[in-house]
């Protein structure tokens, strides 16, 4: 089911076990099991008992309120799943050196893997030995630059130029008929 919209005027909502029950003019007009619900959208003037809100929240159902003219009023969420705390921790890590240190490790490992592959090229396609050797020297220098990078932006630049060096040789491994080139 997922989402249910409740927009009937002068309706009263109560709970009955694991269901929400609808009453109009004192008479039961319907019921709905809570289990399949993810969201309840309440539009307009609806009388809803506090026990219904409690039951929905306990069952991790989000309740969203709108006026009769569909102006958003607010939302009630169920228990947090550490997502908020996770986002705070991620933000904290992003504003200190952790992000730069981790990014340096990733980029250095990526370039090292590419160096390992480039060292195999003379055995794969001997005619590219000189190109491979020049790229190996360039990428070895790039690793030193990675180690000394002082910002994420400078690291991105180093990574980008490293990719250009690597792919300038990698693309030569394939015949032109494959259509593999550096152009995007």
Q: What is the pLDDT along the chain (184 residues), one digit of tens a residue?
A: 688 998 888 899 999 999 999 999 889 999 999 999 989 999 988 899 999 999 999 998 999 998 888 888 888 887 766 677 777 887 887 777 888 898 999 999 999 999 999 999 999 999 999 999 999 999 999 999 999 999 999 999 999 999 999 999 999 988 888 877 666 4
Give me the CATH topology for the region 2-76: Ribosomal Protein L15; Chain: K; domain 2 (3.100.10)
**Two tokens at 134?**
């020049």
Q: Rounded to a whole number, what is the distance in angstroms from the first to the last CA of the chain?
A: 44
Residue-range domain boundaries for the chain: 2-76, 97-178
Q: Where are any strands of DSSP class E within the chain? A: 2-6, 11-16, 19-24, 27-33, 37-43, 47-48, 62-66, 72-76
pTM of the model: 0.52
Q: Which residues neighbour 166 within 8 Å (Cβ) at sequence distance 6 or greater?
A: 111, 114, 118, 135, 139
């Amino acid at each position: 089911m997922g989402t249910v919209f409740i927009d009937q005027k002068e309706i009263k909502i109560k709970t009955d076990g694991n269901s929400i029950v609808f009453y109009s003019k004192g008479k039961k007009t319907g019921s709905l099991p809570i289990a399949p619900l993810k969201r309840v959208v309440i539009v307009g003037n609806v009388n809803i008992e506090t026990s219904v809100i409690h039951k929905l929240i306990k069952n991790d159902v989000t309740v969203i309120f709108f006026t009769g003219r569909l102006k958003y009023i607010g939302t009630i969420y169920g228990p947090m799943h550490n997502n908020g705390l996770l986002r705070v921790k991620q933000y904290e890590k992003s504003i200190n050196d952790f992000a730069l240190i981790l990014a340096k490790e990733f980029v250095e490992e990526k370039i090292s893997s590419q160096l390992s592959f480039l060292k195999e090229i003379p055995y794969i396609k001997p005619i590219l030995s000189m190109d491979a050797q020049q790229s190996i020297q360039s990428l070895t220098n790039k690793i030193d630059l990675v180690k000394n990078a002082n910002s994420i932006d400078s690291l991105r630049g180093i990574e980008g130029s490293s990719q250009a060096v690597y792919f300038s040789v990698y693309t030569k491994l394939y015949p032109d008929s494959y259509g593999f080139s550096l152009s995007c």
